[in-house]
Structure 1
Amino acid sequence: MRQPDIEIYLKDAELPAVTAWLEQAIGPCTPWQTRGQTSQCRAGAIPVTWMPKAVGRWSSLLLESDQTPWEDDLACAKAAFAALGVQVRCAPGSWSEEQGEEDADRWLKVTAEGVSEIQWRTD
C-alpha cells in the first residue's frame, strides 16, 4: 500500500543537489520559496518541503503526495542514497502516537552497506 506522503532525512545534503535529483526523478521544480527555515517548491505536481538541519546535520525532505515514484519512505531513501551518496534515514513505516514513544525512535538507515534498523532519538 502506498504511503500518503514520503519523508526522509538526508545527512549533510545540499539543496541544489537535492533539486537536481528531484527534477530527474519526478519532473521540473518550481523556484524554491523560503519562509524562515523552511523552503517549498513543486516537483512536477508534487508539493515538496525542505527543512535544512531539521535534526542536527540532518535535513528533512517531505513529498506531500501519494503519487511519487516511490511506494514508501524506504524506496525513496534508497533512491536518494543512490543519487546523492549521502546517508539517508526514514521511518520503517507509518507511525501514529498510539504506537508509543519507543516505536517513534525506530528508524531505517540507508548507507553503502545497505539498510539497517537503528534507534534514533530526534528530540
Structure 2
Amino acid sequence: MRQPDIEIYLKDADHDAVIRWLSQTLGPATEWRKKGQTYKCEIDSAAGLIPLTWLPKAVGSWHSLYLDSPSTPWADDLACARAAFTALGVEVRCAPGGWLEEEGEEDADRWIRISADGEEEITWRTG
C-alpha cells in the first residue's frame, strides 16, 4: 500500500546534493522559502507538484526530508530511504511503516537504519 507522504532522516547530508538528487529523480524544484527553521519548496514532477520540507538538524545531526504527496516514485519511506542512501552515500533512517499515535510510544521508537553496514531495525529515541 502506497503511503500518503514520505519522511526520511539523513545524517550530515549536504542540502545541495539532496536537491540535485531529487531534481534528477523527480523534476525541477522551485525556489526555497525559509519559514522559521524549515525550508519549503515544490518539486515539479510528471505527477504534479510535490510539496517538500527540509528541516536541518531536526534531531542532532539528522536532517528531516518530508515529501507531502503520494505521487512520488517510492511506495513508502523505506523505498525512498534506500534510494537516498544509494544516491547520496549518507546514513538514512526512516520509520518501518506508517505510524499512528494510537499504536503507542514504543512503536514510535522503531526505525530502519540504512548505512554502509547494511539495513537493520533499531530503537531510536528522538524525543
**SS of 2:4's equivalent?**
coil
Alignment pair present for 1:86 and 2:86 = no
Alignment pair present for 1:10 and 2:29 = no
**SS of 1:49's equivalent?**
strand
Residues paired across the two proteins, number: 123
Cα offsets for 1:4-52 (capped at 9, x unmatched): 0000000001211110011011000011111111000111210000000
Q: Percent identity?
A: 65
Give the counterpart letter for 2:86 in structure 1.
A
Gaps of 5+ in 1: none
Equivalent residue, structure 1, for 2:76: 72
Gaps of 5+ in 2: none
Distance in 2, Cα, partners of 1:72 & 1:28: 22
Give the counterpart letter for 1:58 in structure 2.
W
Alignment pair present for 1:63 and 2:64 = no
Distance in 2, Cα, partners of 1:99 & 1:64: 22
Distance in 2, Cα, partners of 1:95 & 1:16: 29
Distance in 2, Cα, partners of 1:53 & 1:89: 14
Equivalent residue, structure 2, for 1:34: 34
Question: What are the residue-to-residue correspondences of 1:107-118 with 2, within 5 Å?
Answer: 107-118=111-122
RMSD: 0.6
Cα offsets for 1:42-97 (capped at 9, x unmatched): 11210000000000000000000000010100000000001111000000001011
**Cα shift at 1:113:** 2.5
TM-score by length of 2: 0.95
Give the counterpart letter for 1:47 in structure 2.
P
